[in-house]
């Protein structure tokens, strides 16, 4: 499925941030278009500060991919269900030069295979 990456950009020359209401409205419009086009509900990737400012309590029926490199998602995003967790932004992997993001799927092998076969799921929060 498609993934929508929503984070604050500290490198942007635009210092004025939109309101939570504007963020949620624009995200919903975009995600509706993605779902119509791809036939799959998009995954929302986000960071702790953007989530705190905009997404807490929003989009409960969407799968989330959460960045939490300092602590488990249950500590950084209390009560939020998640499908993927980015637990490092500085991992190493054989055959890849430089640092890479490291992520984990929230489920067992059977759930992973089901998800790969097109099964939608929103994992429980823990």
Catalytic positions are: 7
Listing DSSP states for 53-81 in one string gives IIITT--TTS-EEEE-SSS-HHHHSTT--
Rounded to whole angstroms, the Cα distance separating 64 from 7 reads: 13
The span from the CA of 89 to the CA of 107, in Å, is: 21
CA dihedral for 126, 57, 27, 16, sign (positive or negative): negative
């Amino acid at each position: 499925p498609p993934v929508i990456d929503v984070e604050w950009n500290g490198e942007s020359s635009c210092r004025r941030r939109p309101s939570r209401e504007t963020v949620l409205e624009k995200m919903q419009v975009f995600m509706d278009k993605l779902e119509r086009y791809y036939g799959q509900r998009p995954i929302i990737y986000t960071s702790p500060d953007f989530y705190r400012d905009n997404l807490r309590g929003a989009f409960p029926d969407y799968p989330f991919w959460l960045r939490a490199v300092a602590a488990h998602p249950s500590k950084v995003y209390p009560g939020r269900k998640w499908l993927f967790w980015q637990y490092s932004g500085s991992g190493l992997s054989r055959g890849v030069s430089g640092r890479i993001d490291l992520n984990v799927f929230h489920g067992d092998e059977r759930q992973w295979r089901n998800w790969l076969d097109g099964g939608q799921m929103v994992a429980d929060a823990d």
